[in-house]
Amino acid sequence: MINVTAAVTVREDRTAEFEQAVAAARPAMLVDEGCTRWDLQRVSGSQVDYVLLEEYADGDALRRHGSSAEFNAFGEVLKDLVAGPPVISVLRPVGEQSQ
């Protein structure tokens, strides 16, 4: 499994729109069976800092996601809503994993 975290700061006046945009995009992201998690989180204590917890079956699934029309369309929507570019971390498991 490949976990990915995407941390983003949303413009203060656009958080509701951002959450709706993620909810709207989510089903299409999960259509690809290789995308096993695409869960939005907000950082505790913040109104504008969010993290998407993502998980992919393998590198191919991650590449498919990154080149999908849905992902690109979501990127376009995000441009107006975020205060800066997301910080994406692609993670490699080290040692025993629960998931």
Is there binding between residue 97 and a copy of itself (CB under 8 A)? yes
Looking at residues 9 to 48 of the shown chain, list those that interact with a copy of itself (rule: CB under 8 A). 19, 22-23, 26, 30, 36-45
Please report, for residues 11, 46, 59, the alpha-carbon distance to residue 17 in angstroms, rounded to integers and kept in the order given: 10, 16, 31
Output 67 or 97, the one with its CB closest to a copy of itself. 97
Interface residue with a copy of itself among 12, 13, 33, 96 (CB under 8 A) is: 96
Task: Please check whether residue 37 is in contact with residue 53, taking contact to mean a CB–CB distance below 8 angstroms.
Answer: yes
What CA–CA distance (Å, rounded) separates 33 from 44? 30
C-alpha to C-alpha distance for 80 and 89, rounded to whole angstroms: 22
Find, among 4, 5, 8, the residue nearest to 48 by Cα.
8
Q: Please state the closest distance from residue 69 (CB atom) to a copy of itself, in A.
A: 21
**Which structure tokens are listed for 78?**
């995000």
Site for a copy of itself in 46-85 (CB under 8 A): 49-51, 53, 55
Nearest distance from residue 95's CB to a copy of itself, in Å?
Answer: 5
In angstroms, what is the minimal distance from the CB of 15 to a copy of itself?
A: 10
